[in-house]
Structures are given as structure tokens and as C-alpha cells.
């Protein structure tokens, strides 16, 4: 017997009262029948018509867009971007909210994740509950800070540049991205067609005039002649190996932070907001309070940002070990910190490399793991090194909260937590937690 096909509810409309914000750029609402909706383009307290975009009769919850606002929130503004809204670009989540309201919503998400996953109140986490804007990002309602120094444009079948729609491969063609930094916008990627390309990533270093595009051709696609409005280096993603190869110009861009110049090769990781690197270094160093002679670890170290800042502070009698899994990032980190012989950079996954080093103790540790977090095994190992202080840099509040729970099991608790709005208009938020051993 064939199973009965599930009844799709896509397109179904419900009039609902919008409840609290949830992690992921949406709010929670319930239909009169008690069915849970995750509603985008809405704000808490509003009454809206929500149109289902994903889900079936048997689904635990449905995803929906607010297609009509019946009772608007006082925090609502007209979205400044013409490509923001139901069924359009998925790049921003909160274009329809005042800047201060966006930060409050992010704060509520961080608080909810801490409570639900770590069992911590803001007070217990050493956090005042605020999400701090980056320097220069305080703009009036209805305006957008242009902060994004890297934009990956998707290319549609006709070769036009755009951005993906929310949870979709479909491309929303655009003529300008409002959150793109000036250095990205001035390249003019959106003005040209990109035949046979799948994506074009534009990078505008904030620490120099270096500009770069990384082209990903469609299978069998040939590279176009790249003629943009500003001088630019060109790289491509290889069809067979998936690696990034230089076509012409520099294979790296130069960034500036923590009083040093940093080489970042082939689209390697660097904070996207121009103020992020310095903001995070300052928060980490204030929290760790490094001392001369300290043994320090920088885990998931990228191109060496925190390792370099630590090395300056632990002095010649101190030592810093950085661990990074990306081969090119390791090469960059070694190049960037080549003048500091007290720094060693090891290549590999933290959970594999750290046990092999034979290190049994560390004074201070900074970790900046990927979105999934560090995980129980790594947390347990770090705690066994009995550091005086640990700085945890997190781009995902859920992963942070899960790992804080693991740290608590090992006797480490946050003494301070700070949250920064380094991704305005989106649901993303960056946190820095400082942990100490509790009696």
C-alpha cells in the first residue's frame, strides 16, 4: 500500500498575534488551533496575516511570512531596501525594525538561549542584557549602515547578480545591496552580467585598498573578462578540486587590526564588519587580562588575530600556541606573526591537535570556534588545562549556551559576557564570554 501523501499547507493564510522573537530571524505565533508558526517580517506584539511558506499538515511547526500588517508595532519602519520583504532577498532579517529594536530583539534571543540551553540568567552570565552597536553604526530609523565587506552574489540563469531568497536556491536579482560596504558597492558587480558563473564573491579589505573577486563557474563554464569599476584581483574556484586559484593580481588582501597588518589569502576567514576585529580583540584582552610570561592558547586561530594580540602582551618570556584547521590560514598566520618567535601555529582540528601537543597546562585560552561550537570533548580538555581565564568568542548564541553548559560541568562559569551587533539588519550577533574556575 502506498503511504498517503502529506498535505502541504504552503500558501495557507492565518491571522495571528505575533509572540516573542526566536533564534533565526523570526517570531513565534500560534494559530487559533494551537499550531506553531515561525513568522518572518513580523515584530512581537503585532497582529498580522501570515502566509505559510514551508510545512505540511503533519509538521511540528510551519514557516510563514507576514504578508499583511494589521496592527503594527511602534518599532516598525518601512524597510529601506526595496529587495527586503516576503518572497524577496533572504540576506537581511530585520530591515523592518528600528535599529534600537533590532538590538533589543537580539538581546532577547541571547537571553533565551542562555536560559534554555545553559540554565543561566543574564545576571548569572555577567551580562547587562545589552547588545552594543559597532562604532559608527548608530544610524537613524530608516537608514542602513553599509558594513558588509564581503558579499557573495548568486548569479541567475541569465547571468544577473543577486542574492538568494530565504531558504531557497532562487535568486533575487538586485541593483544594489544596502548593507554592502562602500568598497564592495563601488566595484559595480550588480551592473554587469556574469555568463556561465554560479557565484561572484566580492571582497573589499577595510585595512587597505585591496579588492578581490572570487568566481565560481557553472560546470564547464568559462571565465569572463572581469572589467569592474575599480582595480581588482581575480580568483576562481576550481571545478575539479574546489580549491581557490589565482587568475590575476594578488591572491590575498591586506587587513589592519590590533596595530598590525594581516594577510588574508584566497577568501580566507576575516571578520566581515570593518570594526569587528578591533572590537573583539579589545573585549578579549580586557577579559583575559594577560600577564607577562603567560602560556596562552588561541584555538581556531584563523590568520592569527588573537595570537598576535596575546603575543604582544605575554612578552618575550611568554608563549602562544595557535591551532587552525585551514591550510592557507595557517600559512597566513605564520607569515603574519613571523616576527614573534614566541608564537607557534599548528595545523589541524583542535580536538585532534591539542592532545598531541603534550600541553598539560595553560594560563589563558581564547577560542573562536565555527558556528557549531567547540563541543563537549574539547571543552573538557580545555578545562583540564586549568587556565586562569578563558575567552569564548561566539557567532551563534545557541552554540555558546551549549558550550557554557559543558564548561559549567567542568567548574568554569562566565564572569562577564558582552554582546555586539556586528551584523546589523540580520539576526546574527557576536558574543564574548569570559570564564573562570569557580570554587
* Residues annotated catalytic, as ranges: 395
CB atoms within 10 A of CB 346: 17
Cα–Cα dist 97/108, whole Å = 15
- Helices within 58-188 (DSSP H only): 99-113, 182-185
SS3 percent helix, strand, coil of the chain, rounded to 5, is 20, 35, 45
Name the grid cell of 391: 575567552
- Helices within 186-326 (DSSP H only): 276-288, 305-314
Cα–Cα dist 84/78, whole Å = 10
Report DSSP letters for 207-247, one per residue.
Answer: SSS-EEEEEEEPTTPPPPP---SS--EEEEE-TTT--EEEE
Length of the chain: 439
Cα–Cα dist 326/185, whole Å = 29
Distances (CA, A) of 52 to 15, 39, 92: 11, 9, 19
Name the grid cell of 362: 595553560
Cα–Cα dist 29/16, whole Å = 6
Nearest to 11, CA basis, from 46, 41, 53, 39: 53
Nearest to 275, CA basis, from 188, 145, 367, 153: 145
Cα–Cα dist 365/367, whole Å = 7
Cβ-contact 120, 109 below 8 angstroms: no
Helices 305-314, 276-288: axis angle to 10 degrees equals 40
Nearest to 271, CA basis, from 181, 351, 143: 181
Q: Could you tell me if residue 36 is left (phi over 0), alpha (psi between -120 and 50 degrees) or otherwise beta?
A: beta
Amino acid at each position: 500500500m502506498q503511504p498517503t501523501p502529506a498535505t502541504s499547507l504552503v500558501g495557507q493564510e492565518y491571522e495571528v498575534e505575533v509572540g516573542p522573537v526566536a533564534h533565526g530571524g523570526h517570531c513565534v505565533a500560534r494559530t487559533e488551533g494551537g499550531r506553531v508558526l515561525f513568522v518572518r517580517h513580523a515584530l512581537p506584539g503585532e497582529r498580522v496575516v501570515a502566509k505559510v511558506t514551508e510545512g505540511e499538515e503533519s509538521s511540528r511547526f510551519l514557516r510563514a511570512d507576514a504578508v499583511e500588517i494589521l496592527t503594527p508595532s511602534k518599532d516598525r519602519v518601512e524597510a529601506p531596501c526595496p529587495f527586503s520583504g516576503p518572497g524577496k532577498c533572504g540576506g537581511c532579517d530585520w530591515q523592518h525594525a528600528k535599529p534600537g529594536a533590532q538590538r533589543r530583539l537580539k538581546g532577547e534571543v541571547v537571553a533565551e538561549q542562555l536560559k534554555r540551553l545553559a540554565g543561566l540568567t543574564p545576571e548569572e552570565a555577567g551580562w547587562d542584557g545589552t547588545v552594543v552597536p559597532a562604532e559608527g553604526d548608530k544610524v537613524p530609523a530608516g537608514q542602513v549602515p553599509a558594513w558588509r565587506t564581503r558579499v557573495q552574489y548568486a548569479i541567475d540563469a541569465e547571468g544577473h547578480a543577486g542574492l538568494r531568497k530565504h531558504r531557497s536556491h532562487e535568486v533575487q536579482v538586485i541593483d544594489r545591496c544596502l548593507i554592502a560596504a562602500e568598497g564592495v558597492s563601488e566595484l559595480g558587480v550588480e551592473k554587469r552580467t556574469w555568463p556561465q558563473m554560479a557565484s561572484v564573491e566580492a571582497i573589499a579589505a577595510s585595512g587597505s585598498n585591496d579588492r578581490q573577486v572570487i568566481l565560481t563557474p557553472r560546470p564547464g563554464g568559462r571565465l569572463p573578462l572581469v572589467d569592474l569599476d575599480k582595480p581588482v584581483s581575480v580568483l576562481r574556484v576550481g571545478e575539479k578540486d574546489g580549491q581557490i586559484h589565482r587568475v590575476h593580481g594578488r591572491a590575498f588582501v591586506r587587513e589592519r587590526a590590533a596595530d598590525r597588518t594581516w594577510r588574508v589569502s584566497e577568501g580566507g576567514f576575516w571578520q566581515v564588519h570593518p570594526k569587528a576585529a578591533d572590537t573583539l580583540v579589545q573585549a578579549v584582552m580586557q577579559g583575559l587580562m594577560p600577564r607577562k610570561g603567560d602560556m596562552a592558547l588561541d584555538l581556531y586561530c584563523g590568520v592569527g588575530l588573537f595570537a598576535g594580540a596575546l603575543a604582544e602582551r605575554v612578552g618575550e618570556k611568554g608563549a602562544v600556541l595557535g591551532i587552525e584547521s585551514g591550510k592557507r590560514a595557517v600559512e597566513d598566520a605564520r607569515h603574519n606573526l613571523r616576527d614573534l618567535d614566541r608564537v607557534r601555529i599548528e595545523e589541524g582540528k583542535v580536538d585532534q591537535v591539542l592532545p598531541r601537543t603534550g600541553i598539560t597546562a595553560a594560563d589563558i585560552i581564547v577560542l573562536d570556534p565555527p558556528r557549531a561550537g567547540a563541543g563537549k570533548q574539547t571543552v573538557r580538555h580545555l578545562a583540564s588545562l586549568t587556565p586562569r581565564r578563558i575567552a569564548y568568542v561566539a557567532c551563534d548564541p545557541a552554540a555558546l549556551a551549549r558550550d557554557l553548559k559543558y564548561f559549567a560541568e567542568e567548574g568554569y562559569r562566565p564572569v562577564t559576557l558582552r554582546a555586539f551587533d556586528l551584523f546589523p539588519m540580520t539576526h546574527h550577533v557576536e558574543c564574548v564570554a569570559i570564564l573562570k574556575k569557580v570554587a
